Amino acid sequence: MRRLLLLCAGTLLVVLETTVVPYVAIQGTKPDLVLILVVLVGLLSGWKDAAFVGLFTGFIEDAWSGQFVGLFMLTRTVVGIGAGFSYARVFQDSVIVPIALVFLGGVVGGVLHSFLLSSFGVPLPLSMASLRMVLGQALYSAVLAPILLKGVTRLDLYVRRASERRQAL
């Protein structure tokens, strides 16, 4: 049930990211809602759930974009696994930790995405402008991380209570 709800949330975030998020861009910089979800799932549930959510949401993003199939799947999965290794190793109750992990995940995901695009033959100049774009997107995503953290923790709480009720029967 938990994974199904996470997949539904991931699908909703992909739809929001492609339809609504371009309207909240600041000088062309948009937050990466899917990356935030993948990193937070890794932080709260471990690398297996984060890799699963990253693979699924990456597949949806690849299908939505229609080009370079596998690019988002690979980057989301790698970032999810990396964030999942922090599970049970960092102090999760501090709001600074998810913000820092989302920022770090955004930078790693952006650099990996750029590297993979250039390996597919897309000419990307490695300049300060592209670095600023990656850092700006990571910072914008990190600022929004506490909002999505609240939603993910509520989802976890709902799933735990539902499973406890099921076990009590």
Gap between the Cα atoms of 134 and 122, Å rounded: 17
Q: Residue ranges of the domains in the chain?
A: 2-18+29-168
Q: What is the reported pLDDT for 90?
A: 76
**What is the architecture, at CATH level 2, of domain 2-18+29-168?**
Orthogonal Bundle (1.10)
Rounded mean pLDDT, 36-53? 92
Helix, strand, coil shares, percent, the chain, to 5: 80, 0, 20
Q: Which residue in this structure is represented by tokens 């049970």?
A: 88
Residue 29 pLDDT > 70: yes
Tell me the pLDDT of the chain averaged across its residues: 89
Q: What is the reported pLDDT for 156?
A: 83
| Percentage of residues of the chain with pLDDT beyond 90 | 55
Rounded mean pLDDT, 5-33? 92
Q: Name the pTM for this structure.
A: 0.90
Residue 129 pLDDT > 80: no
